[in-house]
Structure formats: C-alpha cells, structure tokens
C-alpha cells in the first residue's frame, strides 16, 4: 500500500514536469550592441520574425513581417504592428517587454506555423520545434533563433482610418477595420547565437 502510494506520487511529479516544457537560460547566446547588427533591418523583418511576449508561465508568440527598427527619442527602437484579434495582442498589451526572434532560412517552417495557427486554440507553449528561454528581465525568447532583440514598450497607439494619407491602404489592408495596434519598444538587448 505504502509502496503504491510512493509510485503514484513519483508519477504525479513526472507528469506535472512534462506538462510544460522546461525553460532554459541564454547560455547559447552572446550579447552584442545593436550597432553590430550586420544586416539591414528592413531585410531582417522582411524575412519574417517571431514576436513573443509574456512570462515563463504564460506566453505567446506570432510571426510578423511588418515592423521597423530605427532611432527615436534618442533611443534605438523597434516598432511592431499587432492586429487586435491576435492572441499575442493580449500579451503585448499586458507585458512591459516583447522580443523579436530571427531564424535561419532552414527554420522557415517554424515561422510559417506560428503565423498560421493561433495560441487561442493551439498550445504554442508546447510546440515541439521551439524551446523557450528566459532573459534577465523575464522576457521570453527562443533557443532556435539566431538573433534575439529584447524591447521595452515605450509607446503604443492604434492606427486610424482617417489618418491614412493614401486612402487606398485602409480599404485594401483593413476591409474589416481591424487596425493594428502599434507598439514602439526601446531596444534594450541584442543577443547573437554563439
Ligand atoms: C509571414 C507572416 C507575417 C505576418 N505578419 C503579421 C504582422 O506583422 N502583424 C500581425 O498582427 N499579424 C501578422 N501575421 C499573422 C499572425 O502571425 C497570425 O495571425 C498568427 O496566427 C497569430 O497568432 P496568435 O493568434 O497566436 O497571436 C503574419 C503572418 C505571417 C505568416
């Protein structure tokens, strides 16, 4: 009786540790300056990135190919555009940081998957091709990335139909009026795979 109770206890512990994938540290990455980015940010974003936000216990990520990087308010910044219906939007709203992860060409399938399924009905935290890692600020990034950019939100706004100077854009891009939320984040850390 006592033996079977112990076995059940061990099995329960094993089960609970399987339920969520282990969060790793950033050992495989080295910190670099944003000045050392060797590829145009337009090309980097055009080739798709993963926007992630949340905590180790509760996070979500999605593929994005609209965004910018530049210099604003005397800071290096990124700008991302997240439609309100994205599950990721809940996370970019309630967290102070977001990360941008960039991948090798061979990992395009990961980005395609994360850009075509939603965390609202797919368990992205247990997606087997991505391993979550945690930054010192508690942001979520992914071990499979070759470059990680961590940003601290400093501004947010909603695109507005009547502010478009080129009025062909809202009718073409936003037929259902789901205008993007725009987040500007100060780039506070950049890590490159060692
Ligand atoms: C190549 C590509 C680029 C995308 N870029 C964006 C983007 O910049 N902003 C956005 O809101 N959605 C973008 N999406 C759509 C989201 O990635 C997609 O809807 C995803 O399933 C949302 O996941 P979520 O609901 O878990 O957040 C893009 C999708 C792909 C495939």
What angle is formed at CA 50 by the lines to CA 192 and CA 75, rounded to 5 degrees? Answer: 65
Ligand 1 binding pocket includes 86 (Cβ within 6 Å): yes
Q: Is residue 50 part of a domain?
A: yes
Residue 17's pLDDT is 47
Ligand 1 binding pocket includes 53 (Cβ within 6 Å): no
CATH of the domain at 50: 2.30.110.10
Q: Is residue 1 part of a domain?
A: no
Q: Are 156 and 184 in contact (CB under 8 A)?
A: yes
Residue 18's pLDDT is 46
Q: Is residue 23 part of a domain?
A: no
Q: Is residue 24 part of a domain?
A: no
Residue 155's pLDDT is 98
Residue 8's pLDDT is 60
Residue 5's pLDDT is 60
Nearest CA to ligand 1 atom 9: 82
Q: Which of 18, 95, 80 is nearest to 50 (CA)?
A: 80
Ligand 1 binding pocket includes 87 (Cβ within 6 Å): yes
- Say how far apart CA 37 and CA 14 lie, in whole Å: 42
- The structural domain count of the chain equals 1
Q: Is residue 7 part of a domain?
A: no
Burial 129-163 (b: 16+ CB within 10 A, else e): ebbbbbbeeebbbbbbbebbbbbbbeeeeebeeee
Domain residues for the domain of 141 are 31-193
Q: 31 CA distance to ligand 1 centroid (A)?
A: 27
Q: Is residue 5 part of a domain?
A: no
Q: Is residue 6 part of a domain?
A: no
Nearest CA to ligand 1 atom 5: 64
Ligand 1 binding pocket includes 66 (Cβ within 6 Å): yes
| DSSP-assigned beta bridge partners for residue 70 | 77
Q: 65 CA distance to ligand 1 centroid (A)?
A: 8
Number of H helices, E strands in the chain: 5, 10
Q: Is residue 173 part of a domain?
A: yes
Ligand 1 binding pocket includes 95 (Cβ within 6 Å): no
Residue 38's pLDDT is 84
User: Would you mind telling me the total number of residues written for the chain in this entry?
Assistant: 194
- Say how far apart CA 166 and CA 40 lie, in whole Å: 26
**pLDDT, tens digit only, all 194 positions of the chain:** 566 666 565 555 555 544 567 788 899 999 999 999 989 999 999 999 999 999 989 999 999 999 999 999 999 999 999 999 999 999 999 999 999 999 999 999 999 999 999 999 999 999 999 999 999 999 999 999 999 999 999 999 999 999 999 999 999 999 999 999 999 999 999 999 99
Q: Are 56 and 48 in contact (CB under 8 A)?
A: no
Q: Is the pTM of this model over 0.85?
A: yes
Q: 42 CA distance to ligand 1 centroid (A)?
A: 17
**Cα distances (Å, whole numbers) of residue 63 to 5, 32, 66, 85, 118:** 46, 23, 9, 14, 10
């Amino acid at each position: 009786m006592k033996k079977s109770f112990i076995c059940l206890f061990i099995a329960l512990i094993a089960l609970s540790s399987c339920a969520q994938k282990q969060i790793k540290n950033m050992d495989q990455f080295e910190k670099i300056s944003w000045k050392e980015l060797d590829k145009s940010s337009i090309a980097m974003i055009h080739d798709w990135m993963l926007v992630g936000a949340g905590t180790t216990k509760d996070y979500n990520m999605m593929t994005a190919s609209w965004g910018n990087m530049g210099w604003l308010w005397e800071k290096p910044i990124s700008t991302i555009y997240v439609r309100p219906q994205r599950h990721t939007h809940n996370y970019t709203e309630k967290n102070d940081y977001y990360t941008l992860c960039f991948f090798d060409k061979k990992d395009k399938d990961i980005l395609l998957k994360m850009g075509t399924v939603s965390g609202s009905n797919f368990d992205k935290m247990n997606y087997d091709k991505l391993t979550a890692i945690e930054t010192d600020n508690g942001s979520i990034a992914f071990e499979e990335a070759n470059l990680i950019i961590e940003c601290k939100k400093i501004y947010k706004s909603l695109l507005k139909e009547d502010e478009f100077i080129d009025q062909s854009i809202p009718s073409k891009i936003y037929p259902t009026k789901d205008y993007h939320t725009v987040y500007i984040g100060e780039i506070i850390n950049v890590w490159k795979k060692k």
